[in-house]
Structure formats: C-alpha cells, structure tokens
C-alpha cells in the first residue's frame, strides 16, 4: 500500500563527459534502492532471506530529463506491481520534489544460491512484498 522511499546520494563521478548523470548510472541508483529495500529494509522487518537470493531477470527504464550532480540526494520510490511463485515485478520513479527524471520496471527472481536454481518465494517474503504493492501508474 505504500512505496519504499530511498534518498540516493549522487556522486560527482556519476556524470559522464557530457556533464550529465550517465544513463547507466540510473540503474545503479535503482540497485541502491533495492539494496536498501530488500536487504536493510526487509531484514529490519524480520525477512532476511533476500540477501544473495534475488536475481535481476529484466530491467526497463525510460529517461525523462537530464540530471546534473548536486549535493541533494535523488529520491527513488519503489513499489511492487506483481508477485508470482518465484518472482516479483517492481516499478520505480527517480525524482526530486518537482520533477521525474526516470521511470523503470524490474523483474526479480528468487534464487536458491546453494542449490543453484530458482526457488519459490516464501510466505514471509510474500507478506513483506505485499506491503509495497501498488498497482497505480507512476505519477510522473
């Protein structure tokens, strides 16, 4: 019902030779948001099984406007749009107070690192994911 909000600090080196944050780096921001959500956030809520057991299957990203380094963090809002047997789908908005810089979607699969193959999402994992389910379109 709620979105996970991560304030992602920029680095000066995120800019490329054209003086804007490089398009590849936006996916780094999404990764940092997922780390905060699935590792720190889920662990705090008692779900510590995602770490090392989530694999990125797919990303889509639409760039809305150029971003320039500054001391203020960019906000990455993340929410869950689909929960399946062994995977889930996320949406993200990369934004500040006024503007949306990118929108993105990912599919993540649960993975049994010891066995080396996909695994089902556990009930506690699914319950935790449900807390961030939001089927609304992004606002940007």
Site string for a second copy, 28-57 (x = CB under 8 A): x--xx--xx--xx-----------x--xxx
Q: Rounded to an integer, what distance in angstroms lies between the CA atom of residue 38 and that of residue 24?
A: 21
DSSP element (H, E) containing 94: strand 87-95
Subset of residues 57 to 96 that bind a second copy, contact rule: CB under 8 A: 57-63, 69, 71
DSSP conformation class of 133: B
Eight-class DSSP state of 5: E
Are 78 and 34 within 8 A, CB to CB?
yes
**d(C-alpha 82, C-alpha 130), whole Å:** 9
Question: Is residue 5 within the footprint of a second copy (CB under 8 A)?
Answer: no
Q: What's the min distance (Å) between Cβ of 48 and a second copy?
A: 15
**Comparison of 40 and 130: residue with beta carbon closer to a second copy:** 40
Task: Give the total of residues touching a second copy (CB under 8 A).
Answer: 32
| Contact positions vs a second copy (CB under 8 A) | 9, 11-13, 15-19, 22-24, 27-28, 31-32, 35-36, 39-40, 52, 55-63, 69, 71
């Amino acid at each position: 019902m709620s979105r996970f909000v991560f304030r992602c600090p920029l680095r000066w080196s995120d800019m490329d030779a054209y003086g804007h944050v490089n398009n590849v780096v936006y996916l780094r921001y999404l990764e940092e948001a997922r780390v905060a959500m699935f590792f720190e956030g889920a662990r705090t809520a008692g779900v510590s099984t995602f770490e090392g057991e989530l694999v990125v299957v797919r990303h889509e990203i639409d760039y809305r406007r150029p971003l320039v380094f500054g001391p203020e963090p960019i906000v990455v809002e993340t929410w869950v749009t689909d929960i399946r047997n062994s995977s889930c789908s996320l949406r993200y908005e990369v934004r500040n107070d006024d503007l949306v810089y990118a929108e993105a979607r990912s599919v993540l699969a649960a993975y049994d690192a010891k066995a080396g193959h996909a695994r089902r999402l556990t009930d506690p994992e699914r319950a935790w994911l449900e807390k961030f389910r939001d089927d609304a379109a992004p606002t940007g």
